[in-house]
Amino acid sequence: MMKQSMSDDMPKELEPIFQSIYSSDFSEHTLHLMDNYIYNILNGKTNLTQFNQPEHAGLCLAGEVLIGAYIVCHYARTSLEASSDVATGKASPANWEIDALQEKMVQQWAESKGCWFPHAEQDIESEYGTMIAEGAEAKVYYKEGDTSVIKIRTSIYATLGRALESIVLHNTLFPETPMNVIGFTRDPHGLFRAILTQPYIGCGRLATKQEIDEMVAAKGFRDNYDGQGINYIGDRLCLEDMHPANVFIDTVSNTPICIDCIVKFIRK
């Protein structure tokens, strides 16, 4: 299924990793190559070309598990695209195909790496108790007195790679509430989920629309006028789902704090 030939836009530094995945899956050698590359990213010796310098800081905040999974997602997408041949009329892979392969390969990598937790929900409940909140995207667990919450986050994005990308972009825009990925699992319904930690924020009250408008305007965003009033657009990124339930007034700083939203690159 995989082709050894990769796309021309593949960063040269990733070529040895991609070739090792192709020839030996997630062998000890592949994991060693990936660990070295992740180390260089975290220590500022290299970066992923998809991200600019501020976004690189958000990538590092997301942690080594996310970086590794993102590399695997990039390989899965690239290998599928390399296997398509538009010149002969074969269409580029659909998002569902990319997503399915990314989930499969990230699970294989995570199992080899030791960051796949098949019973995550039960294990977290046994240590932290029942969850304190559940939304469309995440289940949230918190133990009184801790400085962080644990989230089991599902993807509402087109592909797993895009979901991981959104965590990087969240960390870039909102470094006061960084998401750090610590592993992956599947829920009882078989949905692929990322396990992450995030600082606990005391909610004084929900932010108003005006407070959210002012917060995102300071970051270079404007309302996209779609009639919902919760979506914004900038020069490089778009922000969605910025409703008050996702933006609190912090009890310590008394300022708006975004705990979760949908962030995407603007792609033409």
Indicate the length of the chain as a whole number: 268
pLDDT digits (tens, 9 = 90+) for 31-85: 999 999 999 999 999 989 889 999 999 999 999 999 999 999 999 999 998 887 6
pLDDT digits (tens, 9 = 90+) for 172-217: 999 999 999 999 999 888 999 999 999 998 899 999 999 999 999 9
Q: Do residues 194 and 106 lie in contact, with contact meaning Cβ atoms separated by under 8 Å?
A: no
First to last CA, the chain: 29
Average pLDDT over residues 117-145: 88
Q: Do residues 59 and 166 lie in contact, with contact meaning Cβ atoms separated by under 8 Å?
A: no
Q: Do residues 55 and 66 lie in contact, with contact meaning Cβ atoms separated by under 8 Å?
A: no
Q: Could you give the strand order of the β-sheet that contains 247-250, starting from the edge strand earlier in sequence?
A: 203-206, 247-250, 256-258
pLDDT digits (tens, 9 = 90+) for 221-236: 998 887 677 899 999 9
Q: Which residues contact 206 (CB under 8 A, 6 or more apart)?
A: 244, 245, 247, 248, 249
Q: Which residues contact 52 (CB under 8 A, 6 or more apart)?
A: 236
Residue environment code for 5-29, b if the CB has 16+ CB neighbours within 10 A, otherwise e: ebeeeeeeebeebbebbbeeebeee
Average pLDDT over residues 129-148: 87
Query: What helix, strand, coil percent values describe the chain, rounded to 5?
Result: 45, 20, 40
pLDDT of the residue at 85? 62
CATH number listed for the domain at residues 120-199: 3.30.200
